[in-house]
Amino acid sequence: MKLIYEKSEPGRRASSLPRPDLPQAEVPEELRRARPPRLPELSEPELVRHFTALADRTFGVDTGFYPLGSCTMKHNPRVNERIVALPGFRDLHPHQEEDASQGALELMWRLQEILGEIVGLPAVSLQPAAGSQGELTGLLLMRAYFADRGEDGQRREIVIPDTAHGTNPASVTMAGYEVVGIKTDPRGNVDLDHLRGKVGPRTAGLMLTNPSTLGLFDEGIEEITRIFHDAGALMYYDGANLNAICGISRPGDFGFDIVHFNLHKTFSQPHGGGGPGGGPIAVRERLEPFLPVPAIVRDGEVFRLDYERPKSIGKVRGFCGPFGVFVRSYAYIRSFGPGLKEMSEVAVLNANYLLARLKDAYEVPFDRLCMHEFVLSGRGLKREHGVTTLDAAKRLMDYGFHPPTIYFPLIVPEALMIEPTETEPKETLDAFADAMLAIAREAAEEPELLKEAPHVRPIKRLDEVRAAKRPIVRYGFEEHEEPDAAGEPRQLEAQKGA
Ligand SMILES: Cc1ncc(COP(=O)(O)O)c(C=O)c1O
C-alpha cells in the first residue's frame, strides 16, 4: 500500500475554504517560511479511501478475539461512547469555573469513592494518565512520606519480583530508587525465603502485581505484607490485573498501602496503540496528605477543587486527569451496579476454561487454577519440532485471532500469556482453543507451515531486528524530491472542484 505522501498530487485539496478577508498578519521577514510545508495533497475521496484501507488492515477488539495477556482487551460498550459524547461532558472546557462544572466534578468525586471502595483504601487521586504514571506517582508519594519522617536518605530500595512488568523497574529508577529483585518459587509465588533476606532498614517498599503476570494469586500475600510492614516499609499494588478480583478481594484488605488502577483495562476503554488511558491511585490515610493537587472534594452538596494541601507532591498531569476516560469508566462500573463481582468471576471462569482446553497440548509451567489469565510455554514445540512461540503466534493470525502476549513473563521460556476477558462467549473461546490445538498438531506434522506464517495477512514477517534498530517513523522527505520543488512557491488556496 502506498504512503499518503506517495499518493499526493500538487494542488489537490480535500476542502474548499474561502479566501480570508482579514488583513495579512505582520510576520517579521526572518520568521516567514520560504515555502509552504510539505503536506500531502489529496482530494477527499482519496483521503477517505486511504484511511479506510488502513483501518481495514488493522486488527482490533471490534474485529476479533484479542487475548493479549495483562492488557485486558475487553469489549468497549457503545453506551459509554453515548454518555461521554453528551454535550455537557464533551464540550466542557477544562478552565470552566467550578459552579458551572458541578456535574463533571460530581462524576469524578463519585468515581473516586467507587474506586476507593473497590480496592479498600480511603483516598484517591484520578490524575495519573496511565498505569505507569500511577506507578511513578505512587513511588513519589513513598518518597514524600519517608522524607516527611526523615527516612528518605535511609530507605533507598524497592523490592520487585522477577515476574514484574517492565514499567515497574523503570518507574523505580525514575523515582530515584534502587531496584532489588526477588525470585519466584516453584508454585509461582514470591519466594519468601529469598524475600526475607532482601528486606531491611534500607527498604522503602514492595511493588507487586497480584494476581501476578503468571495469572496466579500469591498464596503468601499475608506473610509478604507482614515482612514489609514489620520493616516499616510500604506496599505498592500494581493494579494492571485488577480485572481478576473486583468485588472478590481488596488489595487494601491484604495490606497494600498504594494501588494504581488501569482504568483503560479493568473498566473498558478503547486503548492500545498509545490510546487514552487512566491510572488513578488509591492510598491509605497516612499517605493522603501527599496526593497530587487539586483534590476533588465534596462540601455538603457542592463539589470543588482543593489546592490547600501543603504536603502534596504537586501536579502529575494537566487539570484533573483524562476526563473522557473517567466518564467511560464510571458508565462501565455503574452499568454493573452492585454486580461488579460478576465481571471478575466470568473473566476468571473464561481463563480457566481455556486453560483446561489447552493444557494437554502446551506445557503449563505452574499447574494451578489461574485467575483472569494464564501462561503456557511453547518449549515442548520448540524442543520436539523446532517451532517457536513466535511461529505459533504468527500462525494464529491466519486463523483470524490476535496473538496473545508472547515471551513474557521473562521467567517462562517460550511464554504465551493468554487473557480472554469476561466479554467473550463460549463459542469464541472454543474457536480459539481449536485453533491453538490445530497449531500444536501442525507443528508436529507440517512445521514449515508455522515457520512461514502468517500466510493470509497483508504483511508477512517483519525484519524485527531492523525494525527495532532502525525504526522509520517519518517520511523520508530528503530522499523524495518535492514534485514542483524547482517552481514558484505554491499558493495554499483551495482548488475548486478538487
Ligand atoms: C502488569 C502491568 N503493570 C503495569 C503496566 C503499565 O500500564 P500502562 O500501560 O497503563 O502504563 C502494564 C501494562 O500493560 C502491565 O501489564
Give the atom of ligand 1 at the shortest distance from the alpha carbon of 262.
10
Burial class, 161, CB count within 10 angstroms (exposed 0-12 / middle 13-18 / buried 19+): buried
Mean pLDDT of the 474-493 span? 66
Q: How far is the CA of 271 from the centre of ligand 1 (A)?
A: 12
- What is the C-alpha to C-alpha distance for residues 282 and 167, in angstroms, rounded to an integer? 19
Mean pLDDT of the 6-20 span? 90
- What is the C-alpha to C-alpha distance for residues 120 and 233, in angstroms, rounded to an integer? 19
In terms of pLDDT, which residue wins out, 402 or 36?
A: 402
Closest CA to 419 of 244, 159, 206, 257: 244
| CA dihedral (183, 188, 191, 192) positive or negative | positive
Q: Is the peptide bond before 409 cis (omega within 30 degrees of 0)?
A: yes
Q: Cβ distance 230 to 203 under 8 Å?
A: no
pLDDT at residue 496 in the model: 39
Q: Give me 149's grid cell.
A: 519522617
| Residue 484: pLDDT band with limits 50, 70, 90 | low
Task: Render pLDDT for 413-460 as a digit per residue (tens, 0 to 9).
Answer: 999 999 999 999 999 999 999 999 999 999 999 999 999 999 999 888
Q: How far is the CA of 62 from the centre of ligand 1 (A)?
A: 22
Q: How far is the CA of 490 from the centre of ligand 1 (A)?
A: 47
pTM of the shown model:
0.92
- What is the C-alpha to C-alpha distance for residues 498 and 492, in angstroms, rounded to an integer? 13
Give the atom of ligand 1 at the shortest distance from the alpha carbon of 135.
4
Q: Is the CB of 80 under 6 A from ligand 1?
A: no
Query: Where do we find the cell 466518564?
Result: 327
* Residue 208 backbone phi and psi in degrees, to 5: -140, 140
| Residue 490: pLDDT band with limits 50, 70, 90 | low
Look at ligand 1, atom 12, and give the residue with the nearest C-alpha. Answer: 240
Mean pLDDT of the 405-419 span? 97
Mean pLDDT of the 98-118 span? 98
- What is the C-alpha to C-alpha distance for residues 139 and 162, in angstroms, rounded to an integer? 19
In terms of pLDDT, which residue wins out, 18 or 331?
A: 331
pLDDT at residue 494 in the model: 44
Q: Is the CB of 269 under 6 A from ligand 1?
A: no
Closest CA to 377 of 409, 332, 420, 419: 409
Share of the chain above pLDDT 70, in %: 97
Closest CA to 457 of 414, 408, 393: 393
| CA dihedral (289, 224, 239, 176) positive or negative | positive
| Residue 498: pLDDT band with limits 50, 70, 90 | very low
Residue 488 predicted with pLDDT over 70:
no
Task: Render pLDDT for 388-397 as a digit per residue (tens, 0 to 9).
Answer: 999 999 999 9
- What is the C-alpha to C-alpha distance for residues 336 and 247, in angstroms, rounded to an integer? 11
Q: Is the CB of 74 under 6 A from ligand 1?
A: no
Task: Render pLDDT for 129-188 as a digit per residue (tens, 0 to 9).
Answer: 999 999 999 999 999 999 999 999 999 999 999 999 999 999 999 999 999 999 999 999
pLDDT at residue 118 in the model: 98
Look at ligand 1, atom 10, and give the residue with the nearest C-alpha. Answer: 131
Q: In Å, how far are 35, 142, 189, 371 from 223, measured between CA atoms? A: 68, 21, 12, 20
| Residue 464: pLDDT band with limits 50, 70, 90 | confident
Q: How far is the CA of 165 from the centre of ligand 1 (A)?
A: 7
pLDDT at residue 19 in the model: 87
Task: Render pLDDT for 376-388 as a digit per residue (tens, 0 to 9).
Answer: 999 999 999 999 9
DSSP state string for 356-392: HHHTTTSB-SS-S--SS-EEEE-HHHHHHH---HHHH
**Could you give the 3-state DSSP secondary structure of residue 97?**
coil
Q: In Å, how far are 105, 344, 377, 470 from 20, measured between CA atoms? A: 40, 57, 64, 43
Give the atom of ligand 1 at the shortest distance from the alpha carbon of 264.
10
Q: Is the CB of 131 under 6 A from ligand 1?
A: yes
pLDDT at residue 155 in the model: 98
Which residues pair with residue 180 across a beta bridge?
159
Closest CA to 71 of 375, 351, 343, 417: 417
Residue 272 predicted with pLDDT over 70:
yes
Average of per-residue pLDDT values in the chain: 94
Mean pLDDT of the 89-93 span? 96
Look at ligand 1, atom 15, and give the residue with the nearest C-alpha. Answer: 240
Q: How far is the CA of 394 from the centre of ligand 1 (A)?
A: 23
pLDDT at residue 24 in the model: 86
* H/E run at residue 207: strand 203-209
DSSP 12: -
Strand ranges inside 210-264, DSSP E: 234-239, 258-261
Q: How far is the CA of 9 from the centre of ligand 1 (A)?
A: 43
pLDDT at residue 482 in the model: 72
Give the atom of ligand 1 at the shortest distance from the alpha carbon of 133.
11
pLDDT at residue 483 in the model: 63
pLDDT at residue 301 in the model: 96
Q: What share of the chain is helix, strand, coil (3-state, %, to 5)?
A: 40, 10, 50
Residue 248 predicted with pLDDT over 50:
yes
In terms of pLDDT, which residue wins out, 479 or 119?
A: 119
Q: Is the CB of 212 under 6 A from ligand 1?
A: no
Query: Ligand 1: which of 262, 263, 371 to mutate, judged by most atoms within 8 Å of the beta carbon?
Result: 262
Mean pLDDT of the 464-487 span? 81
Q: How far is the CA of 167 from the centre of ligand 1 (A)?
A: 7
pLDDT at residue 481 in the model: 77
| Residue 257: pLDDT band with limits 50, 70, 90 | very high
Q: Cβ distance 260 to 238 under 8 Å?
A: yes
| Residue 497: pLDDT band with limits 50, 70, 90 | very low
Give the atom of ligand 1 at the shortest distance from the alpha carbon of 130.
10
Q: How far is the CA of 171 from the centre of ligand 1 (A)?
A: 11
